[in-house]
Amino acid sequence: MKRITRTSTLTVGALIAALALPAGAAHADTTAPRIDLRVLLVSDGGPSTEAIAAELDDAGTPYTEIDLSRSDRPTINAAFLADTVGGRPRAKFQAVVLPNDNPFAAGSAEMAALAAYEQTYAIPQVDAYTYARPEAGLQYPVAGGYSGSLDGVQAQVTAAGKAGPFGYLEGAVPFEDNSPTVPESYAYLSTPAAGADFTPYVDAPIPGTAKRGSLVGEYRHDGRRELVVTFVYNQYQEQFRLLARGIVEWMTGGVHLGASRNYFAVHVDDVFAADDRWDTQLNCTPGDVDCTNDSGTPNPIRMTSADVDYATAWQNSHHFTFDLVFNGSGSVDQREDNNGVDQLADKLVADRNQFRWVNHTYTHAFLGCEQDTTVVPWKCTTNPDGSTKWVSRNTISDEIANNRAWALASGLPLDSSELVTGEHSGLKVLPQQPDDNPNLAPALADNGVTWLASDSSRDPGQRRVGGAMTVPRYPMNVFYNAGHAAEEVDEYNWLYTSRAQGGSGVCEDNPATTTCLPAPLDTSTGYTGYIVPLETRIALGHVLSNDPKPHFIHQSNLSEDRIAYPVLNGVLDGYNALFADNTPVVNLRMKDIGTELQRRAAWQAALNAGQVTAYRIGSTVTIQAPAGVASSATLPTGTRLMGLTFGTPYAGEMSGWTPSIGLPLVLTLPETATKAPAAHAAHPAPATRPAPAVRVPAGVKQTASPTGH
């Protein structure tokens, strides 16, 4: 696995000094047009244009969407596309995205206006999903091409694609095939039309021939440039997620607001403690509050020193760091029960600098309401007046402070601003506790906690809790109470099969959120054959979606059969096979993830409020955001911000956050980025005829997790 490199961050003081220079000096040439850094996205409501919109949203790249189905939409004409500002011609959009090469009626004045606009200002156009035809630079598929499913096919980035917008990929672009009964893709494979200036960037074998057909390629004609995409996709499918970055970089020339990286962090909860084990006979977990038939023999799961050696070696081989989320009382209890011996703690303390450490409270106590566990499900106890009885501020504070004191005494390198409460307790949990414990926020403030973990499955958005911000975490469906694969599968079957098949029926009671398995999994093969591929696909989908939120597992999953590693290997080894060295996984600690989420929210709010101005004039890019809102941008390598290097390298470009004091940021692009590629005058007819209807199989509307688990 590749590790990201970092450069120094531009300080606010340096910005203030730099911004004392007059911004207008960079724009002495009054003839060069101003190109606003905003995308025009024309949508027909199909999955492909919506996928590109989702990519722009995730990155924080502004766009204006025109819905072709709305009768009250604005007309796309010369005035809509361009005007003059301060005597300088202005192009209002740096790129155009259309649902196909021509979504308008025959002889459309709007298509003519777009073509003239693209010619005048060298604006590129993306055809999000179009039929292969001469108007798009390709032969019709009937002329030795192919129309149909690509499920399970491995497409490939061409040499031109790797030298161009898809250079961040290793080469392979696998198409998903998650269900043998559901068609999930549809494509038109074809070769360039006679005389067309067309360069394939991604292609695949044409069945029954020795030829390869284009799936993504650049068509240059009549002073225009089009990125022609001839397969349908949605925002969740891996094939789109792999290519999304390149589509955006192509249409913006690598100069745009917003940024996208591939993040992965793994929190390992309950370290030093022991986790209760699933009982395959009782179908519950003895020791758990909801296991009332608690007649099982306690058989807890706890890591060993050998598990620590394995974790350290695994990290080193993958250039990755676990966040160990720990409960100090687990070690204290172990020593009390074993004449002062705790080999696990001794080993982890000795190897403490191999990991990152996060406070998980001292005893893993439930910190919300006081629980009444005499009923299933449990409920909150109440005071005589009927109000909820809450765990006290002092109790919460002691749990935080005592664990911190134990860590300091043990020599663990701890960041006191981070906290993960047991079961994310203290925060609201439905249906029993619809509100946060009112004593939580004061206790966090008492202990200087500013970043608090939450469960993304029930509290997905970052929010404020007093002076702290939450950091939503994705739960992996690798259960805390399973150390062996067979235990994991047995519990999985209980949760995800119907009553008629011997399961709990939870899945049939909640069809909106959970899908029942068609049949119970084999306990000897179900983990590697079904659960691991599914969990790998879900986690990798998060990684490829510019989503920094961490995933969490438990220390039990690194013990015994070490069942977490097949999933983690699937994510990281799978990623490594797909991406080039210049695009490593970014592995942040919790507070840095929280900061990233907070910056994104402020940036998106400023964009939505129309408070950000950004444009390019020749080799100069100017960005102005409100004071206190850091600006996000992606620019070519060699870009300078008032003489200083901009950003940090990722995927062949520079990107990052720049503090704002409310004044314009003036950036200078390298000479290699100042000239737009020429669009040759190829001879196939321009797209004056509307594109024919294209096939959209029902499968492309599914999410990345069709089972809903």
Of residues 687 and 105, which shows the higher confidence score?
Answer: 105
The predicted-structure confidence for 329-350, as pLDDT tens digits, reads as follows: 999 999 999 999 999 999 999 9
The predicted-structure confidence for 163-181, as pLDDT tens digits, reads as follows: 999 999 999 999 999 988 8
Q: Name the percent of the chain lying above pLDDT 70.
A: 92
The predicted-structure confidence for 270-289, as pLDDT tens digits, reads as follows: 999 999 999 999 999 998 88
Q: Is 447 in contact with 404 (CB distance < 8 Å)? A: yes
Q: What is the pLDDT of residue 707?
A: 42
Paired with 469 in beta bridges are 451, 464
Q: What is the pLDDT of residue 288?
A: 84
Q: What is the pLDDT of residue 675?
A: 61
Of residues 376 and 430, which shows the higher confidence score?
Answer: 430
The predicted-structure confidence for 115-143, as pLDDT tens digits, reads as follows: 999 999 999 999 999 999 999 999 999 99
Q: What is the pLDDT of residue 674?
A: 63
Q: What is the pLDDT of residue 63?
A: 98
Please name the amino acid found at residue 212: R
**CB count in 10 Å sphere of residue 394:** 11
Please compute the mean of the pLDDT values over residues 409-417 and round it to a whole number.
97
Fold of 266-484+545-565: TIM Barrel (3.20.20)
Q: Is 246 in contact with 252 (CB distance < 8 Å)? A: no
Select from 244, 271, 272 the least CA-distant residue to 258: 244
Domain residue spans in the chain? 36-259+678-701, 266-484+545-565
Q: What is the pLDDT of residue 450?
A: 98
Helices (H), 461-505: 485-496
pLDDT at 668 over 90: yes
Q: What is the pLDDT of residue 512?
A: 87
Residues 399 and 425: their CA atoms lie apart, in Å, by 12
Q: What is the pLDDT of residue 15?
A: 47
CA distances from 225 to 35, 219, 676, 677 (A): 17, 6, 10, 9
Residues 610 and 625: their CA atoms lie apart, in Å, by 10
Q: What is the pLDDT of residue 292?
A: 72
The predicted-structure confidence for 193-215, as pLDDT tens digits, reads as follows: 999 999 999 999 999 999 999 99
pLDDT at 609 over 80: yes
Q: What is the pLDDT of residue 180?
A: 87
* Residue 660 DSSP label: -
CATH code that applies to domain 36-259+678-701: 3.40.50.880
State how beta strands 256-257 and 631-636 pair.
antiparallel
pLDDT class for 357, splitting at 50, 70, 90?
very high
In sign, the C-alpha dihedral spanning 544, 241, 213, 138 is negative
The tokens for 225 are 């440039």
pLDDT at 17 over 90: no
**CB count in 10 Å sphere of residue 694:** 20
CB hemisphere CA count around 557 (13 angstroms): 24
Please compute the mean of the pLDDT values over residues 404-428 and round it to a whole number.
97
Buried b (16+ CB within 10 A) or exposed e, 194-211: eebbbbbbbbbbbeeeee
Q: What is the crossing angle of helices 238-252 and 47-59, to 10°? A: 70
pLDDT at 672 over 90: no
pLDDT at 16 over 70: no
pTM: 0.93
- Give 506-550 as a DSSP string: HHHH-TTT----SSPPPTTTHIIIIIHHHHHHHHHHHHTTT----
CA distances from 251 to 155, 372, 701, 707 (A): 21, 58, 25, 35
Q: Is 652 in contact with 71 (CB distance < 8 Å)? A: no
Reply yes or no: is the peptide bond before residue 165 cis, omega within 30 of 0.
no
Please compute the mean of the pLDDT values over residues 406-421 and round it to a whole number.
97
Q: Is 368 in contact with 437 (CB distance < 8 Å)? A: yes
Please name the amino acid found at residue 494: W
Please compute the mean of the pLDDT values over residues 575-583 and round it to a whole number.
98
Please name the amino acid found at residue 90: R
pLDDT class for 687, splitting at 50, 70, 90?
low
Q: What is the pLDDT of residue 7?
A: 39
Of residues 697 and 667, which shows the higher confidence score?
Answer: 667
Q: What is the pLDDT of residue 61?
A: 98
Question: Residues for the chain: how many in total?
Answer: 709
The tokens for 30 are 């009054």
Q: What is the pLDDT of residue 294?
A: 57
Helix (H) or strand (E) holding 98, with range, is strand 95-98
Long-range contact list for 517-520, CB < 8 A, 24+ apart? Answer: 517/493, 517/707, 520/493
How far, in whole angstroms, is CA 155 from its chain's centroid? 23
3-state SS assignment for residue 204: strand
Paired with 369 in beta bridges are 390
The tokens for 495 are 């949760």
Helix (H) or strand (E) holding 311, with range, is helix 305-318
pLDDT at 370 over 70: yes
The predicted-structure confidence for 21-68, as pLDDT tens digits, reads as follows: 444 444 556 679 999 999 999 999 999 999 999 999 999 999 999 999
Q: What is the pLDDT of residue 293?
A: 65
Select from 278, 99, 134 the least CA-distant residue to 219: 134
Strand order in the sheet with 653-658: 256-257, 631-636, 653-658, 648-650
Please compute the mean of the pLDDT values over residues 66-84 and round it to a whole number.
97
pLDDT class for 296, splitting at 50, 70, 90?
low
